[in-house]
Amino acid sequence: MKELVVENLSKVYFDPRLGERVTALDGVSLRITPGEFVAVAGPSGCGKTTLLNLIAGFLEPTSGRILLDGREIDGPGPDRGVVFQSYALFPWKTVLENVAFGPRMRGLPRAECEARARRWLELVGLGHVANRYPRELSGGMQQRVGVVRALANEPEILLMDEPFAAVDAQTRMTLQEELARIFEERRPTIFFITHDVNEAVFLADRVLVLSKGRLREEIPVPIPRPRRWAALVENDSFKALVGRVLQAVRTA
């Protein structure tokens, strides 16, 4: 596992319709240590998705650097697994083929890729849909596949872009608990983007509040794990932290 360092990162777009430059990200610096769960919370348009896209390598920074294990990143790569809000599963591949995609791109033998994909699917209780196509699954199940597809490729860090925003409220809580359980068992490094303050506090070790392209506040979440909703909804320190993050998001 390797450390992710973001140094003084800025992204300025030229908006051809407005005819002017728009600053999406303005001198952001942060550091994520191995095995840490960091959430970025902020209103829409605050630059949080731009930040994730830069770390993923989908966009090039205007200035600043992103280092993974001391090396500057150059475009997308399998060391940074991404989970998308819209799932981004390949519709013409079965669930199993989707999960086996990453290992297959690394040139592992097909049988080994499929065995590994099957193990991961079993882990989240999706073994029975391995041969289905994504469109045959509910949104919640599709996103489980999305998470497993990223994890099965064993990235150094998992980048999650509002992954549970498109599913219904009940499924969302289940998925959050599943992610918490996976994190508690395997301790991957996770960088998580969300506009849902409850979600950020429930999942993360640390919540960063982003607004108008700048990091405004950093709030540690010292709530012990395992974390489950049933125990936390009425927990006073949880509620106090949610209140603090909410305050930071709204005044930022």
Partner 1 sequence: MGPGPPDVTALERLLGLWLRAAERWRILATLGPFVPLLLLWWAVAAIELFPPAFFPGPLEVARRALELAWKGILGAYLEDSLIRLLVGAAAGIAVGLPLGLLLGLSDRAHRVLWPLVLFFQAIGDIAWLPILIVWFGFGLGTMTFVIVYTVMFPVLMNTALGVRSIPEVLPRAAASLGASRARILSEVVLPGALPNIITGLRNGLGFGWRALVAAEIIVGTSGIGFMMFDARRAGSVTEVVVGLAVLGIVWSIVDSWILAPLEKATGERWGLVAR
56 binds partner 1, rule: CB under 8 A? yes
- With a CB cutoff of 8 Å and minimum separation 6, the contacts of 34 are 1, 2, 3, 189
- With a CB cutoff of 8 Å and minimum separation 6, the contacts of 171 are 138, 139, 140, 164
19 binds partner 1, rule: CB under 8 A? no
For partner 1, the closer CB: 91 or 222 = 91
Rounded to an integer, what distance in angstroms lies between the CA atom of residue 122 and that of residue 155? 19
82 binds partner 1, rule: CB under 8 A? yes
135 binds partner 1, rule: CB under 8 A? yes
Please identify which residue in the block is written with the tokens 């500057």: 72
Q: Which of 42, 61, 134, 213 binds partner 1 (CB under 8 A)?
A: 134
Q: Which of 58, 63, 71, 237 binds partner 1 (CB under 8 A)?
A: 58
61 binds partner 1, rule: CB under 8 A? no
14 binds partner 1, rule: CB under 8 A? no
Rounded to an integer, what distance in angstroms lies between the CA atom of residue 12 and that of residue 229? 39
Number of residues that bind partner 1 (CB under 8 A): 28
43 binds partner 1, rule: CB under 8 A? no
Residue 146 beta carbon to partner 1: minimum distance, rounded to whole angstroms = 8
128 binds partner 1, rule: CB under 8 A? no
51 binds partner 1, rule: CB under 8 A? no
102 binds partner 1, rule: CB under 8 A? yes
Residue 129 beta carbon to partner 1: minimum distance, rounded to whole angstroms = 15
Task: Note the Cα 129 to chain centre separation in Å.
Answer: 24
Residue 126 beta carbon to partner 1: minimum distance, rounded to whole angstroms = 18
Q: Which of 70, 75, 222, 224 binds partner 1 (CB under 8 A)?
A: 75
Q: Is 153 exposed, middle or buried (0-12, 13-18, 19+ CB in 10 A)?
A: buried
Strand duo 20-32 + 4-15: pairing: antiparallel
71 binds partner 1, rule: CB under 8 A? no
Residue 143 beta carbon to partner 1: minimum distance, rounded to whole angstroms = 13
Q: Which residues here bind partner 1, judged by CB under 8 A?
A: 56-58, 75-78, 80-82, 84, 86, 88-92, 101-102, 105-106, 133-135, 149-150, 153, 159
